[in-house]
A and B are shown apart, each in its own frame.
Chain A
Amino acid sequence: MTDPPTRRVDAASLVILRVIVGLLVFVSAVRFVAKGWVEELLLAPEFHFRYWGFTWVPEPSPALAYALFAIVAASGLALAAGWAVRASAALACLAFTWLELVDLSYYLNHYYFLSCLLLCFALVPPRPEHDGAVPAWKLGLVRAQIGLVYVYAGIAKLDGDWLVHAQPLRIWLARHADLPLVGPWMNEAWLAYAASWSGAAFDLFVVPALLSKRTRIPAYLALIGFHTITGALFPIGMFPWVMIGCATIMFEPDWPRRWLAPGSRLDRPVPVEPRREALAGALAALLLLVQIALPWRHLAYPGSVLWHEQGARFSYRVMVVEKGGAVVFRLHDRSSGRTWQVDPQDTELSMLQAKMMSTQPDMIAAYARHLAREVEREQPGSRVEVRVDAFVAVNGRPSARLIDPTVDLAAVEDRLANKAWVLAGPEGLR
């Protein structure tokens, strides 16, 4: 990390990373289709919660949705094989991000990470240049792209709920109290505290520990143990395997050569055009800066991000909250005077969409606007106001009212400004 940025370093570790990521992208796409999630999550719902600023992204037709997954899978394989690396990464990023942007109910930190990593690959292709090496700044950028997931996951854990109350790990570990041998410990407070503190320390320090020669081996063994355990205990899909693979980039740049015959080539060198590379590198650095800045935006909003969720997405706040929510919409037509209620369970929302919406104010407001629009479309002349009774419980606390029940959410615009209609959180979350 202290190398001069222009020093040439072996591209071997980048090539191996590219192969790992390409294969995992392929497996993830196939897995998503095989599990029936394309139909269940993307095609079946009649309503989708759209990302702020991305409502222009078209919802794919069934054929296009499957085609996009095919593109993701094929470009993942191409990436692994080293075929048209920049184009493959760009195509995978574009198709994957398009699918991701269809519905924010399915936002996951590792989906966001994968989009950013693929974009980083498109800008800084992980392949050897003419001399079989790459400038150190390229390796540094990719390392930073991967390392910031851990660092921000660690920073998010420097929080009262995590460190003082060992939540939500107490809740989550207790669910596994029937495991053989270790099960009885899962209900123990000391284990939740030990796991919380060591988890925070792990996230905060694993990157420097991996970069240092002296601590690399134990750090990587710890990393494998950490991700294997979290993968076994929690429903986090491919994330552990992605991170176990990605962390190899912190090793020495030439580490794969230990297993190769001397002089053998990992990948075909590709001549580069220095000015274009520099420009792409600058864009990659900008992408990184954006990712570094975004997690701090929650400080611009009063109260705890765990409660109001403003600034929670795109922040790598991995596994720091367990929420339960219940919401009922109260509609009032000013023209007819009719007042009625809508229960999300009786709407077109899927169970997952309803569950995700129930704890996130911007999604509740988005659905309120949709309800008003639908009624006004079906009943011309009606003027519908929508208020909600929304209750949320965070990390084992008793629930509290989330949204001001007097505010007409149909009239609230989707903006980045502070949502003043979100009420103050309960004790400990203000």
Chain B
Amino acid sequence: MTRSRPWLLTGLGLLGLGLGAIAQLGCPEVEDDRRGEVAQTTAELLLQPDLAEARARALTLREAATSLCAGPGPTSLDAAQEAWWELREPWKRLRALPLGPIVDEGFDSAIDFWPARPTSVEGGVELGVSNQTELDTLGVASKGLPAIEYLLWDPVNGDEAILASLTDPELGAARCDYVVVLAADLELRFELLDSATAEFADALATAGSSERFPTLAVAIDELLNAAIAGLHDISEREFGKPLGLSTGTEPQPDQLESRFSDRSRTDVRAAVEGFRRFYLGAEAGVGEAPGLTALVSQANAEIDARVREQLATTVAAVEAMPEPMRTIMEVDPDAAAAARDAVLALRQLLAADVAGLLGVTVSLSDNDGD
């Protein structure tokens, strides 16, 4: 026994060294898990600032609409049109990620039900709606951004026709009152959306420990699914159907978004920019946000490069489209098709490559796997 003790001690020593080595090996060489950062910055540097901007611009639009009706003229009309135009920018960026109260509580329809239905808007005018209570009895097709656009723009007869309609002795006053009520309603909707989003944004920012997002995986799944849905809206609703690209029918300009103001292409560009900011984060000017690119590149640099390349192609293809989109199929159908195909390819990359890479689960169902 005594003779064997040195061997025993040596053995124990070697065992200890081995265990130490294993422990050393086992110590996590922490590869940053940046998902929390992505969720937090998406909430704090994308959603909330865009919403604050939209809310401020909705206030400007309400003031401009009030001024327009106090003194209808080219200057006040220009101011109202500009306020509407400016409000579209942050709103379209927000819609690029359709998640949270925007979709869950129907704010997307309340604020931006399109394509616009002139008959529904005219119905509101003819009813003489002049206050919020009366407006609340009408459906979403009679209000929101598209309704205001319809009342402020006439793509055929121009601003003169709009000013004439607002000063018409018979219906001018009712029309003007309706514009003001619509703008006030919009301001209210953004205020409500802002407060509803505060809780959602907080849950997203604290993903992993919040009730809505108990794990970071749930948060990233929801963000990616929203981005895919946003790109689907661009490729199908903004291009596919109105331009006849997915339906194989003649173009239907009355299905275009922002068709009265000819902001359709600018809307598409803003929506793509919304996605670009989500994906690239700081590289697209969003503070210190890592963007989804941080997660994708960490998992597979080649897939990240593909997405970036396709994103650049998409931005360029949208830029290359001639204005206005309502005549694009006559002027340059190839440019329209190229832009739509680019968005579609980008969505395919997100749905196949990125979703597969991050193990993103399908929305709306939790049926057991395997």
Contacts and interface: CB of A to CB of B under 8 A. Distances in A.
Given A178-B36, A326-B348, A394 B366 contact: no
A341 B28 contact: no
Main secondary structure of the interface of A (DSSP, over half): mixed
A350 B352 contact: no
A212 interface: no
Contacts of A41: 365, 367
B369 A235 contact: yes
Contacts of A187: 28, 30-31, 33
A197 to B, nearest CB: 15
A174 B369 CA distance: 18
A236 interface: yes
Given A108-B368, A318-B370, A352-B367, A178 B215 contact: yes
Contacts of B31: 187-188
B53 to A, nearest CB: 30
Contact of A177 (B216, B354, B357): B216
A27 B246 CA distance: 46
B362 A322 contact: no
A350 B36 contact: no
Given A190-B25, A391-B348, A396 B357 contact: yes
Interface residues of B, number: 52
Contacts of B26: 185
B113 to A, nearest CB: 18
Contacts of A190: 25
B368 A235 contact: yes
A78 interface: no
B248 interface: yes
Given A175-B217, A177-B35, A351 B362 contact: yes
Interface stretch (B146-154, B164-172, B300-308, B322-330): B300-308
A226 interface: no
Nearest to B303: A398
Contacts of A239: 368, 370
B246 A184 contact: no
Given A178-B35, A178-B36, A340 B356 contact: no
A358 B362 CA distance: 12
B208 interface: yes
B367 A106 contact: yes
A304 interface: no
B99 to A, nearest CB: 15
A157 interface: no
Contacts of B247: 340
Contact of A236 (B33, B245, B368): B368
A352 B232 CA distance: 17
Contacts of B299: 171, 174, 396
A319 B355 contact: no
A413 interface: no
Contact of A237 (B303, B349, B368): B368
B112 to A, nearest CB: 19
A188 B370 contact: no
B208 A351 contact: no
B223 to A, nearest CB: 14
Interface string A237-253: 11100000000000000
Interface string B241-282: 000011111000000000000000000000000000000000
Interface string B325-360: 000000000000000000010011101111111111
A345 interface: yes
B365 A350 contact: yes
B108 to A, nearest CB: 16
A323 interface: yes
Contact of B352 (A110, A234, A324): A324
B240 interface: yes
A190 B22 CA distance: 12
B363 interface: yes
Interface string A308-327: 00000000001100111110
Interface string A173-201: 01111100001110110100000000000
B215 to A, nearest CB: 6
Given A237-B368, A352-B365, A352-B367, A326 B351 contact: yes
A342 B248 CA distance: 11
B9 interface: no
Interface string A342-355: 11011000111001
Contacts of A236: 368-370
B152 to A, nearest CB: 31
Contact of B356 (A35, A322, A345): A322
B363 A343 contact: no
Given A187-B31, A340-B249, A351-B365, A393 B370 contact: no
Interface in A373-430: 389, 391-396, 398-399
Nearest to B364: A351
A326 B236 contact: no
Contacts of B236: 343, 345-346
Contacts of B368: 108, 110, 235-239
A183 B249 contact: no
Interface in B97-154: none
B29 interface: yes
Nearest to B302: A398
Contact of A188 (B28, B36, B245, B363): B28
Contacts of A352: 362, 364-365, 367
A168 interface: yes
User: Most A CB atoms within 10 A — which of B208, B344, B355?
Assistant: B355
A344 to B, nearest CB: 10
Contacts of A234: 369-370
A393 B352 contact: yes
B361 interface: yes
A324 B307 CA distance: 15
Nearest to A188: B28
A187 B240 CA distance: 40
Interface string B216-252: 1100000000000100100110001000011111000
Nearest to A235: B369
A398 B307 CA distance: 10
Contacts of A52: none
Contacts of A326: 347-349, 351-352
Interface in A280-330: 318-319, 322-326, 328
B28 A185 contact: yes
A343 B362 contact: no
B358 A171 contact: yes
Nearest to A356: B362
Interface of B: 25-26, 28-31, 33, 35-36, 208, 215-217, 229, 232, 235-236, 240, 245-249, 299-300, 302-303, 306, 344, 347-349, 351-370
10 contacts: A35-B366, A106-B367, A178-B216, A190-B25, A235-B361, A235-B368, A319-B369, A350-B365, A398-B353, A399-B356
**What 5 A-B pairs have minimum CB-CB distances, sorted nearest first?**
A324-B356, A237-B368, A340-B248, A326-B348, A393-B356
Interface of A: 35, 37, 40-41, 106, 108-110, 168, 171-172, 174-178, 183-185, 187-188, 190, 234-239, 318-319, 322-326, 328, 331, 338-343, 345-346, 350-352, 355, 358, 389, 391-396, 398-399
